């Protein structure tokens, strides 16, 4: 397998509507294997063919590990999907805001509203029809990757122009939020522990 070069903005292939996959031949199988390897090497959870310079309606997605009751990752619980010619056939009215990044826009993250759950029809790596029901983070990744196949990027869909940060800004913001939460908790404890005056 070969690791492929990931293209980044402003490469125009990222803005094109991708061509449908019509041949599920050996060449396509090799491309898919290389995309999986490239996604894993980049620590990504999804990679669409335009991101490796191929204007094809094809994406690979690998979910985050599931967690047990203690919040520990369950081994081998990641799920791998290969989708060709996908379409979202239904989306929930329920939406959810979340933070996204993109391997083609390195160093940045932004907040995007997505449908909480979706249904997708697609073809698998051999061309067999697939019907998928997805929710939560998995549904979010699918929406992000399917957008790529239409030349759409998450930066087109920010909840607000201001909700776009460098990785470092976002990290510092989260740290500050966590510290503020901790400080509040300490205050709370101190208040209850303090002796009541005049009593």
Q: How far is the CB of 38 from Ni ion (least distance, A)?
A: 13
Please tell me whether residue 47 binds Ni ion under the rule CB under 5 A: no
Name the one range near Ni ion by CB under 5 A: 65-73, 85-93, 97-105, 118-126: 97-105
Residue spans of beta strands (DSSP E) within the chain:
46-48, 58-62, 80-91, 95-100, 108-115, 117-123, 129-135, 164-166
Q: How far is the CB of 142 from Ni ion (least distance, A)?
A: 12
If the CB atoms of residues 102 and 115 are measured against Ni ion, the closer one turns out to be: 102
**27, 79, 113, 145: which one is catalytic?**
145
The residue with its CB nearest to Ni ion is: 102
Please tell me whether residue 102 binds Ni ion under the rule CB under 5 A: yes
- CA 23, 20, 129, 67 dihedral sign is positive
CA distances from 48 to 53, 93, 153, 166, 169 (A): 9, 26, 11, 22, 27
Q: How far is the CB of 35 from Ni ion (least distance, A)?
A: 13
**How far is Cα 153 from Cα 106, in angstroms, rounded to an integer?**
13
162 given a catalytic annotation: no
* CA 28 to chain CA mean position, Å: 23
Strands 46-48 and 80-91: unpaired
**Site size with Ni ion, rule: CB under 5 A:** 1
Name the one range near Ni ion by CB under 5 A: 77-85, 95-103, 116-124, 191-199: 95-103
Which residues contribute to the site for Ni ion (CB under 5 A)? Answer: 102
* Active-site residue set: 145
């Amino acid at each position: 397998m070969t690791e492929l070069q990931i293209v980044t903005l402003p490469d125009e292939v990222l803005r094109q509507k991708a061509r449908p996959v019509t041949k599920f031949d050996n060449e396509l199988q090799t491309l898919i294997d290389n995309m999986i390897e490239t996604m894993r090497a980049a620590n990504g959870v999804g990679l669409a063919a335009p991101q490796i310079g191929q204007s094809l309606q094809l994406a690979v997605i690998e979910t985050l590990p599931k967690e047990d009751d203690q919040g520990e990752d369950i081994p081998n619980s990641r799920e791998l999907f290969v989708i060709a010619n996908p379409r979202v056939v239904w989306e929930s009215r329920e939406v959810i805001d979340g933070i996204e990044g993109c391997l083609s826009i390195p160093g940045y993250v932004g907040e995007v509203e997505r449908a909480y759950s979706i249904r997708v029809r697609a073809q698998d790596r051999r061309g067999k029809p697939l019907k998928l029901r997805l929710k939560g983070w998995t549904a979010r990744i699918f929406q992000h990757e399917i957008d790529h196949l239409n030349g759409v990027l998450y930066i087109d869909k920010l909840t607000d122009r201001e909700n776009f940060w460098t990785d470092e800004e976002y990290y510092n913001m989260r740290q500050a939020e966590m510290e503020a939460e901790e400080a509040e908790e300490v205050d709370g404890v101190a208040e209850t522990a303090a002796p009541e005056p005049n009593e």
